[in-house]
Structure 1
Amino acid sequence: MASDPLTLVRSQIGARVAEIQQLGQRLSPLDLHARMDSIRQLAAEHGMVALEGLARYTTQLALLPGHRVAMRSCLEHIDEALDSRSSRDCTTILAALAVRLH
Structure 2
Amino acid sequence: MGDSVSDLHHDLQRRLHDIRARAEALSPLDIHARMDAIRGAADRAGLHAMEGLARLSSQLALLPGCRVATSACLAHAEDAMAARTQAEHQAILAAVATRLH
TM-score range, shorter chain: over 0.9
Aligned residues: 99
Query: Deviation at 1:99?
Result: 1.2
What is aligned with 2:85? 86
Determine the structure 2 residue equivalent to 1:69: 68
Name 1:8's counterpart in structure 2.
Answer: 7
The residue aligned with 1:98 is 97
Q: Which amino acid aligns with 2:80?
A: A
- Alpha-carbon distance between aligned partners in 2 of 1:58 and 1:24, rounded to the nearest angstrom: 12
Q: TM-score with structure 2 length normalisation?
A: 0.94
Structure 1 position 58 matched with structure 2 position 57: yes
Aligned 1:16-27 pairs, distance under 5 A: 16-27=15-26
Matched AA of 1:29? P
Q: Distance in 2 between matches of 1:101 and 1:23?
A: 21
Unaligned 5+ runs, structure 1: none
| Root mean square deviation of aligned Cα | 0.8
> Percent identity of the aligned residues?
45
Q: Deviations over 1:51-87 (max 9, x none)?
A: 0001001111000000101111100101100001112
Structure 2 counterpart SS, 1:63: coil
User: How far does residue 96 in structure 1 lie from its aligned partner after superposition?
Assistant: 1.1
Runs of 4+ in 1 over 2 A off after TM superposition: none
Q: Which amino acid aligns with 1:42?
A: A
Q: Helix, strand or coil for the counterpart of 2:23?
A: helix
